[in-house]
Structure 1
Amino acid sequence: MERFTDRKDAGRRLAARLAEHDGEDPIVLALPRGGVPVAVEIARALDADLDVLVVRKLGVPGHEEVAMGAVGEDGTSVLNEDVIGMGAIPASAVTAAREREGAEVTHRVDLLREGRPAPALAGRTAIIVDDGIATGATARAGCAIARARGAARVVLAVPVAPPDAVTHVPEADEVICVLTPESFMAVGMHYLDFAQVSDEEVIEQLRAFRA
């Protein structure tokens, strides 16, 4: 099974696939936390602006690792209707999850941006970056936010994803993925080093990039 050494390696390999966007004045938007180290490498290679786009997964009650959707900045949300239907999840549970995770989004925006306003996206190419996707709910929500904020073009860039997850992203104009293994299990299985990224590391990496 092909694997990335770490998130930096994944970012460099993705950057090579994104070289055609170099002259478009793109802005790279990382989904924290794991997407930030990947996005840093891409932004450096493209000489692009970098920021975060905060999105939270809506976990199925009792099985929080399974996404029934995602919510992000500006109240934007994407629901996985198949999961909701198969699990017979009541609307009240979906609403409660939206409210709970929406409050966490607000908190994390303040924490990670350190008071900076959200970047202007109007007329620009927004490259949404994560360290991998499983169901695609959080990535789709990130793309939807970028679209709602006026991005002229939305590109989703991820190192690894199951094949079906990258074929249905209607919120993006283009999806770029390095690995789409038929035997996809979990994102972390496709990295040799998939250590958890802390909030402190995200903040330091963003500060270092701006400097």
Structure 2
Amino acid sequence: MAIVLEVNDLCKTFTLYQQQQKEMIGCSHVSFQLHEGEFIGITGKSGAGKSTLLKCLFRTYLPSSGEIYYNSQEFGKIDLVQVKDQQILRVRMKEIGYVSQFLQVLPRVTAKDVIMETLIEMNVSKQVARQQAEEMLCHFNIPEKLWDAYPNTFSGGEKLRLNLARAMVKKPRLLLLDEPTASLDVNSKRYVKEMIENLKRAGTSMIGIFHDLEFMEAVVDHTYKMKEGCLTKEVTI
């Protein structure tokens, strides 16, 4: 299988200026490979560096050192640490999805428009975008009465399902998931599992942070543990 992502000796430190410029380690000397259609699950305690790693991969954080080679469909093999901001924005729009536990959208944009805008940015027609958005809202069991409502009125679980729908509808080449099942009930987790399986079959590669180990074990191919910024692969015996 083709390598989609190759991370070499990735480090991220933060400088705490209010504490005499003390440095705090976010992640340290992280290296791994992700192949097409694979799903890597990451576990670890709060503060271990899991979210820092995902944000470095998405380039929300600029790594302090190391390399993140991504096999882009548009640009070929690029180092996400070094590429220009314009290329980062382009691959985020077209190829890389990110799901956090928190939905961030403009105040007066409806739930359906949130998903449609993601597709329209990918040059999908409005008619097709509307159809695919409605199908995705149905899949994640978001009631039709909420489709034209503003997401800031949604419950935590509804916001997370909408966030998942927005990221998954574009069938990204790489999908980063930060606690994708937090605050979800059993039925909602089933919808997420079905969509993950569909995306894997279509070739999407994924990296996810999990505290729900039972769910994680049902969908991932490899498990890594993060502790004090270091990532180690867990071997099943």
Which TM class, normalised by the smaller chain length? 0.3 to 0.5
Q: TM-score, normalised by structure 1?
A: 0.33
TM-score (norm 2): 0.30
Point out the structure with the larger strand share.
2
